[in-house]
Structure 1
């Protein structure tokens, strides 16, 4: 599908943040006709992946610390509830319980090229098991947008040094403890937020960014 491929290119940086592109150019690169690409771009514009530029195509959405904060806020509000809801269904879905445990025990390795996809499926599966379609719709977008930040070099290095273990979360859900599952999800999200944010803030690009005072703001103590 056009929307999946365009979103993949944005996530991986093939379409970099704040870079303009035209519908025609994208159609040529994807080998698709204009109709499905146009429809995909309309949806991605509504979801915040791109911004429509009058008479000049589209602009890939930037990656900002404010956006990162907002994405984690959404996770912290919804995922603990999703984990608690999953507990209510997990006994009737033994295959799903096995999938959660299998990822946390055997595939939770950020150095694996498939880790990011498995990580997404792990968290998405928790919501799906809870049978809340609206929560799944929102969180799936949040998780996909976060992948852009997980692919930053500094974050990749941080994950290699301090992996985000998922076994406590998986075990809490499989064990059938609602409160433990919600608490494990909240703790996991908090740890992930700290790791990703600190990795970005300590990266070379941030450390070398020039600092300046806003125009019109005089130094403290200056004559008025």
Structure 2
């Protein structure tokens, strides 16, 4: 059965997106259309449709007469995104607290036990995975498709930044305490408490990233005697 242009360009968008998230296409790098077409075995039409999708998602930018480049996330971008996603995920926690059932709570309790185990063992990557699963579970419990869509779009931008906020000293223990506060509010069906706790959790992530950026800028380069250039990853 022939693959339609629509489904093909979605497949191409997924492939390029995964390459960006995996770091194979670095922030700021030029997307060579001819090379991508040859690599993927496709024509220019589905590739250009895929690039339009990724541009709309904010993962790449198109510069007239130059082409497409992988977007770079700046500190200003993070300052602007985190308050927005804190409001949105806070609203998800609010709505989840209003509709959460016993089965949902049982599932979240198991997930929080896993989160505690990862924190106790200092297993950062395991912690990240469970942390994300908890956030997604709360969004699913809220059941608001508009919140889900907008949060998903913003999370793609944050993923592009390849953030590592748990590397900040003491951040994992702080993050765990924040998660437990959200869970306690959900268990109590305290919608306003869950909203406030989730907002605090997201905003403190930004604070941790800012602290890491300051530490990075404070390091002096042995070769130059000056701090190295700022980076957007943490």
| Range into which the TM-score falls when normalised by the shorter chain | 0.7 to 0.9
User: Are the counterparts in 1 of residues 58 and 157 from structure 2 also a CA contact under 8 Å?
Assistant: no
Please say if residues 10 and 60 of structure 1, whose CA atoms lie closer than 8 Å, have aligned partners that are also in contact: yes
Range moving further from structure 2, 190-199 or 167-176: 167-176
Report what 2:115 is aligned to. 107
Give me the TM-score of the superposition, normalised by structure 1: 0.77
Query: Per-residue deviation at 1:45?
Result: 0.2
Quote the residue 2:140 is aligned against: 128
2:91 to 72, 81, 86: 81
How far apart, in 2, do the equivalents of 1:27 and 1:39 lie? 12
Determine the structure 1 residue equivalent to 2:192. Answer: 179
Superposition pairs of residues 36-55 of structure 1, within 5 angstroms: 36-55=46-65
CA contact (8 A) 2:59 2:156 kept: no
1:133 Cα deviation after fit: 0.6
Report deviation, 1:53: 3.0
What residue in structure 1 maps to residue 7 of structure 2? none
Question: Deviation of residue 186 (structure 1)?
Answer: 1.6
CA distance in 1, matches of 2:160, 2:99: 31
Counterpart residue number, 1:218: none
2:81 counterpart residue number = 71
Q: 1:25 to 1:151 in 2, by over 3 A?
A: farther
What is the aligned counterpart of 1:15 among 9, 25, 28? 25
The SS at the match of 1:203 is: helix
Is 1:196 the counterpart of 2:196 in the alignment?
no
User: How far apart, CA to CA, are the structure 1 residues paired with 2:125 and 2:41?
Assistant: 28
Contact 1:78–1:135 under 8 Å retained in 2: yes
Secondary structure at 1:202 match in 2: helix
Query: Deviation string for 1:24-58 (max 9, x for gaps)?
Result: 323444x3534554333211101211012334431
Following superposition, the deviation at residue 86 of structure 1 comes to 0.5
Mapped partners of 1:7, 1:118: distance in 2: 22
- 1:33 and 2:45 aligned: no
Name the Cα RMSD after superposition.
2.8
Could you give the per-residue CA deviations for residues 126-174 of structure 1, whole angstroms, max 9, x where no partner exists? 222112111110111222322344545xx45227x42121222123213
In structure 2, distance between residues paired with 1:12 and 1:204: 25
The 10-residue stretch of structure 1 (19-28 or 70-79) with the greater mean CA deviation from structure 2: 19-28
TM-score by length of 2: 0.74
**How far is the alpha carbon of 1:189 from its aligned partner?**
1.4
Point out where structure 2 has 5 or more consecutive residues left out of the alignment: 1-10, 221-226
In the aligned structure 2, how far is the partner of 1:2 from the partner of 1:202? Answer: 39
Q: In structure 2, how many angstroms separate the alpha carbons of the residues matched to 1:78 and 1:22?
A: 36
**Unmatched tracts of structure 1, length 5 or more:** 212-224
Q: Is 1:170 aligned to residue 167 of structure 2?
A: no
